[in-house]
Amino acid sequence: MAKRNIIKIDESKCNGCGLCASACAEGAIKIINGKAKLVSETYCDGLGACIGHCPVDALTIEERDVADFDEQAVQKHLAGQKQPPQPKVDFICLGMMAKKLRDNPPQSQSPAVPADSQLNNWPVQLKLVPPSAPYLNGADLLLVADCVPFAMGDFHSRFLTGRTVVIGCPKLDDNNFYADKLADILRQNKINSLTVLHMEVPCCSGLTRIATGAIKQSTLQLAFDDVTISLQGNVIKTEIINP
């Protein structure tokens, strides 16, 4: 054994989302009984590629006496896997847990008096929005997780009115691409304000990290409102983030 860097998992923080397991190319982490576990010290290279994927900061690197990293053992281990490490289907993660939100859904509004759309720009997908789009200059920019408008019945009237919106999913899409794209938007336009809306599920908070990273990358001084929405469509928390 020799002293080297290795991953450390704080199970008290871990919510079992499985993102670290998916990010570990060596298959050193698995979700067991709803928590991330290091299955073998010899599989962990200690480089910490998994750390940036954890939405609750449960992963750190520590230096201690452990077995050497064994690349041959890793290859044998991966060859024995039928598919890349995936979270168990029964892990405890609010973001993936199937549940019915209402026993008695609210009655739909009369189609004779529909609510007016407050959408001011197109496209809305962050992947598709060109940083030079004229509607971005001087905008009150709304960065929204794409599930939010489905949860919030009053999304248009409460948040979208008078704002320019871009949407994305921090769980399914490339976060680094989003951060780079948003940084370009911030550099090329005089953004008046930024508001980030995301769901309460842990993985969705990645949108906050995307905004923070983009602002730092752009080297601008910009604080933003970070709004958390419940699965029932209510505002749980609003805080000001100053990267």
Tokens of 133: 């789009």
Long-range pairs, 127-136, Cβ under 8 A, ≥24 = 127/168, 127/173, 127/177, 127/181, 129/166, 129/181, 129/185, 131/181, 131/184, 131/185, 131/187, 131/188, 131/189, 132/188, 135/164, 136/164, 136/185, 136/188, 136/189, 136/191
Residue 104's pLDDT band (cuts 50, 70, 90): low
Q: What digits encode the pLDDT tens for the residues 172-221?
A: 888 889 999 999 999 999 999 999 999 998 889 899 999 999 999 999 99
Q: Which of 11, 16, 51, 53 has its CA nearest to residue 31?
A: 16
| Gap between the Cα atoms of 155 and 147, Å rounded | 11
Asked if 29 contacts 20 with a C-beta cutoff of 8 angstroms, the reply is: yes
- The pTM of this model reads 0.61
Asked if 14 contacts 36 with a C-beta cutoff of 8 angstroms, the reply is: yes
Q: Which of 100, 65, 84 has its CA nearest to residue 23?
A: 84
* Per-residue CA distances from 196 to 1, 168, 171, 193, 199 (Å): 47, 11, 15, 10, 10
Lowest mean pLDDT among 8-17, 71-80, 102-111: 102-111
- pLDDT averaged over the chain? 86
Instruction: Specify the DSSP element, H or E, that contains 63.
Output: strand 59-66
Q: What digits encode the pLDDT tens for the residues 149-167?
A: 999 999 999 999 999 999 9
